[in-house]
Structure 1
Amino acid sequence: MATPLPNFDEGSVPLAQIRDEARKLLIDALDSRRGKKVLVLDPKISGFLGMLAEVPLLKEHGVEQLLHLGSEPFGDLGCRSVIYLVRSRIENAQLIAQQVKASNRQGAQLEYSVFFLPRRTIVCEKVFEEEGVTGDVIIGEYPLDFIPFDYDVLSLEQDTACKELAHLGTIPAVKGKGTAAAAVLDMLSRMRKEPGADAGPGSGAIDMLVLLDREVDCVTPLCTQLTYEGLADEVLRIRNGCVQLDQGGSKTRIVLNSADRVFRDLRDLSFAAVGPQLGARAKMLQSDYKDTKAAERSLSELKEFAAQLKTLPHITRHINLAEQISRQIGAQNFRDRVTVEQAVLDGHGTDASCEAIEEMMYGEEELMGVLRLMCLISLTQGGVPKKQFDALRKEVLHTYGHEHILTLTSLQDAGLLRRQEGGKSSFGALKRALKLLVDDIDDKNPTDVAYTFSGYAPISIRLVEAAVKAGGWGALEEVFKLLPGPHFDVVQTTDENGMPVERSTRNKPVPGLDSKKRLVVLVMFIGGVTFAEIAALRFLSTQPNVNCDFVVATTKLINGSTLLESFVDETVQQAMKQAKLE
């Protein structure tokens, strides 16, 4: 059954065009070979490719078989054409070369086409040359950049870095913080100077672009998300817009996007508010059913009731999903982890928090949960105290394997985990300046974005909040000194000769912000974004003093565990997955 897709044209910026263009380019790649063909996919792209093209469409364009990239030679495929669709990675090029050579040795008369995404690279072509298969393959590229996941969410689905920002017309106001953000601004500037580019101001659908490097706020993804969608990702892992629900020993696939109207209404709520909402909906349907039996209704009333009944399977599905989430977050280890998080954010009890982490390891709890807390202490306390740092590292290696010395080293190199060497953490000053901790959060009727983490407001969202309010980032000069990387606040315009330039608007009003027009703001998270941060931006857009709609773009949809997994060596990752299966 086809995956229900949201209405991509429903948001402030119509995103259906982006999906349609990606779909067309895929079809062009398939049609580059006539007749029947085999499509070999990079496993890292096979999931989200289903959001662009369903299996019937692939068959319509000659695809007889779908395979994942592997090193084994092909058997009898029943057709001559083989099309590879893979990320531009050296490992993928090497696997393809091995497969081509093995098939050639077996005497297979096959025609190979390789489409790299988002771009073909010289290094991959060099691999083919060194392996002696350049003459056997036709090389192309599939320029897939942003993938629409919902009407207001775009993702590059790249694990580690931003490659480019899609052309959405010239965006007048651009603000950013972080090294990668500055690199993207430079990229945008160069793109505007290319022949044929539209350099004029205000030519696109976006009024403002806010670029945020994930390094500016690594604290937020390490915290446990407490919205409905965020918790679904924390405990069940949302993959390509879906979760697998275990019901009576069988797996049920649940699609989570705005095409499900019940999920759309619930996804950004605090999880504490989800149960009462589902209960109220079920009672309302039950009451309407009784009223229908008790008295005659008009045709229009019956039609409305029938429409309500269509949501009943969705309500039942979300009751089951919420129950499974409740069981997992009700476990003692989950509650203990959240308690430690809250203590760390408050700045209290580092010794007690480190002891709690050691207890987690003695209980052989999941490594990523342990590392999240260790990194959270490090980032908020200016490092882990020396005594605890050495003890925790030793226990990680003892409990989870000495191969994780590579993991710990990678986290240290990235600045996520380090030994306390004196000096004061900047997090305390950030907490005060940005009001990151908010007391007395009402989960059912929130008034601040801090509800998404039960009292903690993400640094990233506080920066966006300041960016779109009157005065902009002018009041944040001292705050920016506490955060890594450069910051900028510019208007993309042209000089007297019509050449593209960027002019600083620091401490000046941003054009258009004081107008009555509701602005469209694209927030680009370079390095990943959590579902709770997306929920916070949606909530922010409903506030009376924020006259704008947000579109979220990112390199990857993440949570704290998936973020830290990217620092684990791939060989070690495979061993961890195998151990789980066993």
Structure 2
Amino acid sequence: MNVITAVKAYITKMIEESEPGMKILLMDKETTSIISMVYGQSEIQQKEVFLLERIDSGNNNSNSGLRYLKCLVFLRPTPQNIDLLSKELRNPRYGAYYIYFSNIVAKADVKILAENDEQEVVKDVQELYMDYLAVNPHLFSFGLSTCMANWKTFTLQRSVQGLASVLLSLTKCPIIRYQKFSNLCHELAQKVDELINKESTLFTFGQSSQPLLLILDRRCDPVTPLLNQWTYQAMVHELLTINNNRVNLSKVKGISKELAEVVLSAEQDPFYAKNIYLNFGDIGQNIKELMEHFQEKAKSHQKVESISDMKAFVETYPQFKKLSGNVSKHVTVVGELSSMLSEYELLDVSEIEQEITSQTDHSSHLQSIRKLLNPGGNRKIRDLDAAKLVMLYALRYRSHSSNDIGGLIKMLKKRNVSEYLISSIDSVLKYAGRYAQPSEIFNVVEAVKITKRLFKGLNGVDNVYTQHKPVLNEILDEIVKGRLREDLYPRLGGFTSQQINSRSQDVIVFFIGGVTYEESLTVHVFNKNNPEMRVILGGTTIHNSKSFLEEANETIRANV
């Protein structure tokens, strides 16, 4: 199971199945992102696609004299896109249209397109199930922020469509299990099950074992998205933000125009692929080796004295230029991470975060936070990190008889921390809800177990910055042992006892409310350690702590 491979295979099919010759690729905003996640523009253009267009750009009257070109149309099957495509077909700018939808398209919509195709320019209409963003081989997202607040109006339907396309692209018809405490999980599970039954012919696959789709609620683990990260991909997202593989560096002091926005894609960047899950200390050494390799290449290009030298240089120039750009990009990104790490004292912050989440020592934790928040200490701690420490403390010690949440909030106010961050403390506690106060719905023994589960480190971990393990870590452990509890994660549908008791080799875990790169790392390590199993992870979005706080605040505001 590999979502990047699945999406790439569909794109190759789309481009190569049409007649040979130069082509236009017509997309919408979402499908543009879907393709750009796995292919660079230059790679697409090497496949006879010389122009990329947006159907919703409003500038589609300029190419009226290009009837000799073929047009590949790749759109989500939305009412707006059906309408825009109908207008395009009524006055076609190109000689032939090959239409590909990213998901199941209604027969009524196909009929509308046929009625508008008066000049009979449509040569083919197909469904290619890639209605999601393939981020890593085992990680996908729908790019939906603040999803719980928009659940009824948009997110539920989009999540059903997205999960259907993931299942179809991976050719899986799963048993569906969901987190019992979450109405959202139950509702999504039911809707996906209904769609599978409705489109049963599409979901008929020869499967050696019964796959599992497990739907989880972000609220089961509000801790993981609040932590600073120390692996390359996760650290970049936390400190600089990755948006569809792109990182905006325009605010970096003295940045050149070429590096104002950089692309971090493991598919197109061997250095990033090699370092994506490595800790920050290891990346520094690898950057040094990358620079030394480049310097050696540069020396070999200094000697251009003959025609053969020039020819050799020209032939290797694209690779040389690419290597040069890669070195500049990663030196800039790692340099900025290093500056932020030092300037904002993130090592000290992270150490306390990890201790709060992985150990039980109220007095020591309270003292450490007070020391960092003390305005007289001349510390450079960011307001965001200061507020997150209080959030973690509040989640951890909310029920502790000697907790001093109020005192810590007063310290934040003395630091002039924004009202938004201070109110976010209460929002996160309300967002965590039942899991922050597990005794409300579980007996005392179960309450202790759940609390331990939120704040459980791994024994024998040497690195103080990576002690914390997400709740997902324990869930996967239960799955691999065949012990995932029916009372906590019930299943839908009528399955035989043999199917129910069999261990799934293929598992798709989906988080309503967003997933994190730390959980992606958890799945990467799990797959590596359990080669007989394949786990894919997805979420409505991929959070860093800022986007998670927005999610929590909007969810509470919407009273979900």
The separation in 1 between residues aligned to 2:410 and 2:103, in whole angstroms, is 38
Which amino acid is 1:388 matched to? I
Structure 1 position 374 matched with structure 2 position 390: yes
1:521-536 correspondence to structure 2 within 5 Å: 521-536=507-522
Q: Which residue of 1 aligns with 2:489?
A: 487
Structure 2: unaligned runs, 5 residues or longer: 15-23, 65-74, 81-101, 106-127, 148-154, 303-311
Aligned mate of 1:456, from 430, 445, 468: 468
Which amino acid is 2:218 matched to? R
Structure 1 position 243 matched with structure 2 position 259: no
TM-score normalised by length of structure 1? 0.60
Aligned mate of 1:552, from 537, 545, 553: 537
CA gap 1:358/1:390 in 2 versus in 1, 3 angstroms: same
TM-score normalised by length of structure 2? 0.62
Q: Which residue of 2 aligns with 1:276?
A: 285
My pick for the range that moved more, 415-424 or 326-335, is 415-424
Aligned mate of 1:389, from 406, 417, 422: 406
Mapped contact 2:343–2:380 kept (Cα < 8 A): no
Q: Which residue of 2 aligns with 1:148?
A: 134
Q: Which residue of 2 aligns with 1:561?
A: 546
CA gap 1:203/1:396 in 2 versus in 1, 3 angstroms: farther
The separation in 1 between residues aligned to 2:253 and 2:420, in whole angstroms, is 36
Aligned mate of 2:480, from 464, 468, 476: 468
Mapped contact 2:219–2:431 kept (Cα < 8 A): no
Mapped contact 1:236–1:244 kept (Cα < 8 A): yes
SS in 2 for 1:399: coil
Mapped contact 2:33–2:133 kept (Cα < 8 A): no
Aligned mate of 1:335, from 331, 347, 372: 347
CA gap 1:205/1:272 in 2 versus in 1, 3 angstroms: farther
CA gap 1:376/1:401 in 2 versus in 1, 3 angstroms: closer
Determine what percentage of the aligned residue pairs are the same residue: 17
Which digits, 9 at most, give the CA deviation of each residue in 1:183-212, with x for residues without a partner? Answer: 332223212321544565755998333332
Which digits, 9 at most, give the CA deviation of each residue in 1:479-537, with x for residues without a partner? Answer: x8xxxxx41257xxxxxxxxx7235679x7425x5xxxxx4432222221111221221
The separation in 2 between residues aligned to 1:430 and 1:343, in whole angstroms, is 18
1:179-328 correspondence to structure 2 within 5 Å: 179=182, 180-194=184-198, 196-198=200-202, 203=207, 207-245=211-249, 246=252, 248-250=254-256, 252=259, 253-280=262-289, 312-313=323-324, 314-315=326-327, 317-328=329-340
CA gap 1:412/1:88 in 2 versus in 1, 3 angstroms: farther
SS in 1 for 2:186: helix
The separation in 1 between residues aligned to 2:455 and 2:406, in whole angstroms, is 29
SS in 2 for 1:211: strand
SS in 2 for 1:553: strand
Q: CA deviation at 1:413?
A: 3.9
My pick for the range that moved more, 219-228 or 418-427, is 418-427
Aligned mate of 1:541, from 524, 527, 547: 527
SS in 1 for 2:228: coil
Mapped contact 1:383–1:417 kept (Cα < 8 A): no
CA gap 1:407/1:473 in 2 versus in 1, 3 angstroms: closer
Q: Which residue of 1 aligns with 2:367?
A: 352
The separation in 2 between residues aligned to 1:390 and 1:402, in whole angstroms, is 16
Mapped contact 2:508–2:537 kept (Cα < 8 A): yes
Q: CA deviation at 1:232?
A: 1.0
The separation in 1 between residues aligned to 2:189 and 2:6, in whole angstroms, is 24
Which digits, 9 at most, give the CA deviation of each residue in 1:82-101, with x for residues without a partner? Answer: xxx99999xx9xxxxxxxxx
Q: CA deviation at 1:558?
A: 1.0
Which amino acid is 1:183 matched to? E
My pick for the range that moved more, 342-351 or 227-236, is 342-351
The separation in 1 between residues aligned to 2:393 and 2:270, in whole angstroms, is 39
Q: CA deviation at 1:552?
A: 2.3
Which amino acid is 1:263 matched to? Y
Mapped contact 1:438–1:456 kept (Cα < 8 A): yes
What is the RMSD computed on CA atoms of the aligned residues?
5.7
Structure 1 position 437 matched with structure 2 position 457: yes
Aligned length: 458
The separation in 2 between residues aligned to 1:187 and 1:352, in whole angstroms, is 48
Q: CA deviation at 1:13?
A: 3.7
Q: Which residue of 2 aligns with 1:510?
A: 502
The separation in 2 between residues aligned to 1:332 and 1:406, in whole angstroms, is 22
Q: Which residue of 2 aligns with 1:105?
A: none
Q: CA deviation at 1:233?
A: 1.0
Identify the structure with the greater helix proportion: 2
My pick for the range that moved more, 334-343 or 205-214, is 205-214
The separation in 2 between residues aligned to 1:277 and 1:18, in whole angstroms, is 30
Q: CA deviation at 1:286?
A: 7.3
Q: Which residue of 1 aligns with 2:96?
A: none
Mapped contact 1:156–1:555 kept (Cα < 8 A): yes
Which amino acid is 1:467 matched to? I
The separation in 1 between residues aligned to 2:40 and 2:382, in whole angstroms, is 35
The separation in 1 between residues aligned to 2:348 and 2:135, in whole angstroms, is 33
SS in 1 for 2:336: helix
Mapped contact 1:358–1:392 kept (Cα < 8 A): no
